[in-house]
Amino acid sequence: MKQKDVLIIGGGAAGFFAAINIAVQNPKLKITILEKAKEGLQKVKISGGGRCNVTHAEFIPQDLVLNYPRGEKELLGPFHQFMTGDTIAWFEERGVALKIEEDGRMFPESNTSQTIIDCFLNETKKHQIEVLYSQTVKSILKEEGLWNIKTQDEVFIAPKILVATGSSPKMWKVLETLNHSVIPPVPSLFTFNIKDDRIKDIPGVVAQNVEIQVVGTELFSEGPLLITHVGMSAPSILKLSAFGALQLAKLDYKFTIAVNFIKMDYQDCLATLKDLKLSLAKKTVLKAPQFDLPKRLWKQLVLASVIQDDNRWADLNKNQLEALAAQLTKAHFKVDGKSTFKDEFVTAGGIDLKEINFKTFESKLHANLYFAGEVINVDAITGGFNFQNAWTGAFIASQYISK
């Protein structure tokens, strides 16, 4: 049996960040990270396409929380304690400069996640944090005021532990033995599979700003839309998949979406089309894209409105104008299944937020049991927000663990 002051279960983003910050605040503590894999930080390595989207250039906590379908309310207080700006400063103090991309995502200037990994490994060495690999935690028990942690071949004890095992179903089972409730995991952040003649020949086309509603629900989003080889993607779809993760799982990923490609009311659009019929009378409809829509998309929507290749604006009858207005402002598409977004598996679900004290990230059921990262029922849309959740939770927990 090995006694430590602090045991961190899980050597991922949250686990390493917590261990280093505990050591900074209290160098006397014996800290050990138990990691089941042969190497730690594997998700950091593959994150952001190998570049690691560390955080997001959003510096107002009230706006930052809007990116978290689960955790919006709970993370507001924590973000007032440790924000994106603190993340940037933390890495800069350790020689890792971050850069901002046009869409607000932040990456190491080196453009490789290895920089983040090297930073963490250097810090663990510097602070003499023990990292034990190939140690899969199998059980967690409290005995005589100490935590007793069993791995496949060792027993560790410590007064304080932090669980940072990410979306691990096995660890959620272990945590249920401590009476914690786990919100069942479902995928978040995915693209929609759609087979439809209107989009089958135009992969790669982007409509810059659309509105999408899942028909029969309140689920709604807006933003860019990308037509792909298998359906639709880009922020408007990803946001729907994240905010609708639970509802869409219940629908077994079979539902209908209504897309407003031009963010215009149907009646206003119809009135505009009637004006165009007069002003562009002699022009061929197909060859005169309107509303800043990409040519190829305009063509598909026009053809879907039973307008012929050579029809001029003046030829259009009432039915055709109405059909085109409908295609532009409320085009229905049947979604049948989902695909992973760039291999970025994000899971909604985890330890019930009601059971965590968000001032400290300590369990409300057990003293000296802390959580950080994806193990709790928090997840975000793509953009660096998932890591920010890991950094914030780990930092705040570290302040209390080190006391």
Ligand X SMILES: Cc1cc2nc3c(=O)[nH]c(=O)nc-3n(C[C@H](O)[C@H](O)[C@H](O)COP(=O)(O)OP(=O)(O)OC[C@H]3O[C@@H](n4cnc5c(N)ncnc54)[C@H](O)[C@@H]3O)c2cc1C
| Residue among 14, 139, 32 at smallest CA distance from 147 | 139
In sequence order, what DSSP letters do the residues of 36-66 get, joined into one string?
SSSSS-HHHHHHHHHT---EES---HHHHGG
Q: Is 187 in the site for ligand X (CB under 6 A)?
A: no
Stretch near ligand X under the rule CB under 6 A, chosen from 236-244, 269-277, 312-320, 367-375: 367-375
* List 78, 187, 350, 373, residue binding ligand X (CB under 6 A): 373
Q: Is 392 in the site for ligand X (CB under 6 A)?
A: no
Residues 343-362 that bind ligand X (CB under 6 A): 343-346
* List 117, 161, 171, 205, residue binding ligand X (CB under 6 A): 171
With contacts defined by CB under 6 A, how many residues of the chain interact with ligand X? 39
Distance of CA 329 to the CA centre of its chain: 28
Beta bridge partners of 149: 140, 156
* List 79, 370, 387, 395, residue binding ligand X (CB under 6 A): 387
**Rounded Cα distance, 91 and 241, in Å:** 31
Shortest separation between residue 39's beta carbon and ligand X, angstroms:
8
In sequence order, what DSSP letters do the residues of 173-213 get, joined into one string?
HHHHTTT--EEEEEEESEEEE---TTTTT-TT-EEEEEEEE
**Rounded Cα distance, 317 and 319, in Å:** 6
Beta bridge partners of 50: none
3-state helix, strand and coil shares in percent for the chain, rounded to the nearest 5 = 35, 25, 35
Shortest separation between residue 26's beta carbon and ligand X, angstroms:
21
Q: Which amino acid is at 219?
A: L
Shortest separation between residue 217's beta carbon and ligand X, angstroms:
26
Identity of the residue, 118 or 322, whose beta carbon is nearer to ligand X in the bound complex: 118
Shortest separation between residue 204's beta carbon and ligand X, angstroms:
22
Site string for ligand X, 304-343 (x = CB under 6 A): ---------------------------------------x
Identity of the residue, 116 or 331, whose beta carbon is nearer to ligand X in the bound complex: 116
Q: Which amino acid is at 42?
A: Q
**Rounded Cα distance, 297 and 201, in Å:** 10
Site string for ligand X, 120-159 (x = CB under 6 A): ----------------xx----------------------
Tokens linked to 314: 């003046």
Identity of the residue, 130 or 336, whose beta carbon is nearer to ligand X in the bound complex: 130
- Beta sheet of 105-108, edge-to-edge order: 55-56, 105-108, 98-100
Q: Is 168 in the site for ligand X (CB under 6 A)?
A: yes
Q: Is 384 in the site for ligand X (CB under 6 A)?
A: yes
Residues 30-59 that bind ligand X (CB under 6 A): 34-37, 40, 42-43, 46-48, 52-53
- Applying CB under 6 A, which residues contact ligand X? 9-15, 34-37, 40, 42-43, 46-48, 52-53, 136-137, 164-166, 168, 170-171, 343-346, 373-375, 384-387, 390
